[in-house]
Amino acid sequence: MDLHYLKIFYEVAKEKSFTKAASKLYINQSAVSIQVKKFEELLNTKLFDRSSKKIKLTYTGEALYKMAEEIFEKVKRAEKEINRIIDLDRAKISIGASPVIGEPLIPSLMKEFSKLHEEIEYDINVSNKQWLLKLLKEGELDVLLIDEEHITDTNLEVLQVDRVPYVLVGKREYRSIENVAKDPLISRRHVPNNNEAIASIENKYHITFETKIPVLGNLEVIKGMVREGIGNVILPYYSVYKEIQSGEFKVIEEIDEIRDGYQLVITKDKKNLIQIIKFVNFIQNYKIQY
């Protein structure tokens, strides 16, 4: 298959216009039409339905367009990677992280990684998961560190990293779990594991948290509310381990049966780059002490 023909076909299908494709490719419209026809003859199939006034792909054309899209996305990512290496004259990793992972973990992770691999530069983007996944697929990011997400994209490789228990933490110590139930509990009701952890404690001790304060949003806001003594909260250990180790937060209860981890996501076409291999190996061996 001639990639020159494939590129012309791809641009016509993408723009849904021979005229727009010609302008983008800097050739005249008749040349585009001729090249597409030659491509169809080469493949011995029709790629466009010419019975319609609008640009419409045949079934074969639709299948080829999807494959061509993947091919040219990979080419684009390869070009970006080469240009980045040339510009820097050294390896670099662009790292994306969801807030629940990035805020508590990235500072210590990158401090340790830089000690081991001074030769690798990096930049970091902390944002919501769906936006980060889009940037990863477009080649703007090399790796993602995100809280658990069901990902089915065959172009992505998902590696499960360390799983830790949920913990109920607060600003002060309690004499009994019954007293804990009387104080407000900050809840993250849209997080399934959080709801399971709450139910686990209530069922284990036959209690009901009398006041629940639902919070949807930034992890630092939630931890700030705990610091101010507004209420207690149940979170994965990795998100509050620094506050626990410093003594700022007290562990009221460890919910070992409910565990949460985070995932490392990479595109399969980049997983053999030496800097990615080093980062993946580091993350897989990095353990939070608890």
The count of structural domains within the chain is 3
- What's the whole-number mean pLDDT along residues 146-173? 88
- Please indicate whether residue 194 or residue 170 has the higher confidence score (pLDDT): 170
CATH classification of the domain holding 114: 3.40.190.10
d(CA 227, CA 243): 10
140 and 278 share a domain? Answer: yes
pLDDT of the residue at 261: 81
127 and 251 share a domain? Answer: no
State yes or no: pLDDT of 125 exceeds 60.
yes
Q: Domain of 217? A: 164-260
252 and 172 share a domain? Answer: yes
Lowest mean pLDDT among 137-141, 175-179, 186-190: 186-190
d(CA 102, CA 240): 12
- Please indicate whether residue 138 or residue 207 has the higher confidence score (pLDDT): 207
pLDDT of the residue at 234: 94
pLDDT digits (tens, 9 = 90+) for 60-112: 999 999 999 988 888 887 787 777 666 655 678 999 999 888 888 899 899 99
- Please indicate whether residue 50 or residue 81 has the higher confidence score (pLDDT): 50
State yes or no: pLDDT of 1 exceeds 70.
no
pLDDT of the residue at 101: 86
Q: How confident is the model at residue 260 (pLDDT cuts 50, 70, 90)?
A: confident
pLDDT of the residue at 90: 65
Q: How confident is the model at residue 139 (pLDDT cuts 50, 70, 90)?
A: confident
pLDDT of the residue at 86: 65
State yes or no: pLDDT of 115 exceeds 80.
yes
Domain end (from 40, 75, 110):
75
35 and 149 share a domain? Answer: no
- What's the whole-number mean pLDDT along residues 177-193? 88
pLDDT of the residue at 194: 86
Domain end (from 75, 103, 118):
75
247 and 270 share a domain? Answer: no
46 and 21 share a domain? Answer: yes
Q: Judge contact between 132 and 146, C-beta under 8 A.
A: yes
Is residue 155 included in any domain, yes or no? Answer: yes
98 and 147 share a domain? Answer: yes
- What's the whole-number mean pLDDT along residues 153-171? 89
